[in-house]
Structure 1
């Protein structure tokens, strides 16, 4: 079970990244149900963690514009298990998308400091 809270009308949870050859890093992410990918991280964080580069892709944004962005791989701790995920190096704020929470239950109490829970579906 992953716990977080609502801050400024954003559902936020922390995830742990496990960069190769470095200490684990905990990063606060906004849960974005309009993002169909797994994870976005700002390019400076991707560079600092030296995440393995895969390729460049064209990403379609919420405003229907397209941008070129870099695709990287990262290992995260997800519900107590290591999981390799695709990371888009873009934006200023880390985002968790629906591909990461697919097949999980997301519960959000939408008020300041409200509870955010990502748990297995019973």
Structure 2
């Protein structure tokens, strides 16, 4: 899997498999401080129609713990369909370390350089 560095952020496009629609690719910023799988703004979760699972307590970058809705999504990851948890909060899509577990992440922080996930 590959992405690109933009404005010193590693960005990876992840295809979402949404029933009855063509795959939708959303670009996520790699956030090694986020231990979950994926995070999307609430508006994006609503547009995708991702099914709600449960509210969970999460601690955010500001150190404050608060409830966030956890939704389920099916994505194409490592050439396979994978069901993942998506937190509906924040203002930009983030990919966390839970999804990167058991993979190798290579980033050279030069503008437009390729990000590799093996």
TM range (shorter): over 0.9
Aligned position for 1:14: 13
Q: Residue 80 of structure 2 corresponds to which residue in structure 1?
A: 81
Q: Where has structure 1 moved over 3 Å in runs of 4 or more?
A: none
- Residues 1-122 of structure 1 mapped to structure 2, 5 A cutoff: 2-119=1-118
What are the Cα deviations for residues 54-101 of structure 1, in whole angstroms up to 9, with x where unaligned? 011111012211121100000000011000000000111111100001
Q: Which sections of structure 1, spanning at least 5 residues, go unmatched? A: none
Given the two structures, how large is their TM-score scaled by the length of structure 1?
A: 0.93
Q: How many residues align?
A: 118
Q: Give unpaired runs (5+ residues) of structure 2.
A: none
RMSD over aligned Cα, in angstroms? Answer: 0.9
TM-score, normalised via structure 2 length: 0.96
Query: Structure 2: how far apart are the matches of 1:86 and 1:103?
Result: 17
